[in-house]
Amino acid sequence: MRWESWSQFWDMGGYGLYVWGSMAVTALCMGLEVWLARQAQRQALALACTEAEEAS
């Protein structure tokens, strides 16, 4: 393990803002992408269900 303490880890040798800024935005974007994909699936299912109801 390279890091002696948590504060050292977050500080990243002074580059903390840049490293964590990158990681955070990446995680945020991917999380958003997953959430939007699940939304799309929910909407598609809802559309299909209304189609099925109309057909029956």
Partner 1 sequence: MAIRWFYYAAPQNFYALAGRLWPWLAALATALGVAGLWVGFALAPEDAQQGEGYRIIFVHVPVSWMSMVIYLAMAFWSILGLTFNTRLSGMMTRALAPSGAMFTFLSLWTGALWGKPMWGTWWVWDARLTSELILFFLYLGYIALTSAIDDVRRADRAGALIAIVGAINVPIIYFSVKWWNTLHQGASVSLTRSPSMAQLMLWGMLLMALSFWVYTLAIVTYRVRSLILERERHTAWVQALPEVSGAKK
* 3-class DSSP assignment, residue 36: helix
4 binds partner 1 (CB under 8 A): no
> For partner 1, what does the binding mask look like between residues 15 and 34, x meaning CB under 8 A?
x--xx-xxx-xx--xx--xx
In the chain, the amino acid numbered 35 is W
Roughly how many angstroms between the first and final C-alpha of the chain, as a whole number?
63
Spatial separation of the C-alpha atoms in residues 32 and 54, rounded to whole Å:
33
Residue 10 is a binding residue for partner 1 (CB under 8 A)? no
Give the footprint of partner 1 on this chain (CB under 8 A).
Answer: 1-3, 9, 12-15, 18-19, 21-23, 25-26, 29-30, 33-34, 36-37, 40-41, 43-45, 47-49, 51-53, 55-56
